[in-house]
Every structure is written in structure tokens, then in C-alpha cells.
Amino acid sequence: MEKFKRLKNEGNDFVKMGEYEEAVNKYSECMKLNTEECTVYTNRALCYLKLCKYEEAKQDCDHVLQMEDSNIKAFYRRALAYKGLQVRKKNMAGI
């Protein structure tokens, strides 16, 4: 559990510095240790949104909402992911 907390804190620090790829790696390592902790999924979803990886963000939020069907961050970030996917779809249609 101590390693989990350390990795999560390192991920949070990377987010604060704008190092989203590094943060994704730390949160992914956390998930190998504990798949039930929703905050690492919503945190990773935030990073994916910043990296314009909308499908990945949506998947993380979907996972959280299967565990906690009223998780506000997951709903909000999933909505942002859907918005990003729609914008991408519209841009692709114009090509």
C-alpha cells in the first residue's frame, strides 16, 4: 500500500508540472497494485484529456462508473471525452 501511495503522489506531482505522459505511467503502475481505487482512474482520465486521448479517457471514466455510479469527476471527465471525440469526428469529416 505504501508503494501505491508513493506512485499516486508522484503521478499527482507530474500533473502539477504538466507532465501528463509521465503521470499516466505512474497512475498505470498504481492500477497494477490496486484496481479498485477510483481516483487513479479519474486522474489518469484527466491526463488523457490533456493529451487529447479521448477514447482512453472515456474508458477510464466508464470503468469508474461501473464501480461508483455517482462519481461526479468520472461523469464530468467522460462528458469532456465525448465532446473531444465529437470534435475529432467533425474534423475528420471535413478532410
- pLDDT tens digits for range 41-76: 999 999 999 999 999 999 999 999 999 999 999 999
Is the per-residue pLDDT at 95 higher than 60? Answer: no
- 77 falls in which pLDDT band (50, 70, 90)? very high
Domain count, the chain: 1
Query: Taking Cα atoms as reference points, which of 17, 24, 22, 69 lies closest to residue 46?
Result: 24
17-31, 53-67, 74-88: least confident range: 74-88
Residue-range definition of the domain harbouring residue 34: 1-93
- 90 falls in which pLDDT band (50, 70, 90)? confident
Work out whether the CA dihedral 13, 62, 81, 93 comes out positive or negative: positive
Q: What is the CATH number of the domain that holds 61?
A: 1.25.40.10
Cell of 61: 471514466
Cα 10 to Cα 19: distance, rounded to the nearest angstrom = 11
Is the per-residue pLDDT at 85 higher than 80? Answer: yes
Mapping DSSP to helix (H, G, I), strand (E, B) and coil, where does residue 78 land?
helix
Cell of 29: 503502475
Question: Terminal CA-to-CA distance of the chain, rounded, Å?
Answer: 49
pLDDT of residue 89: 72
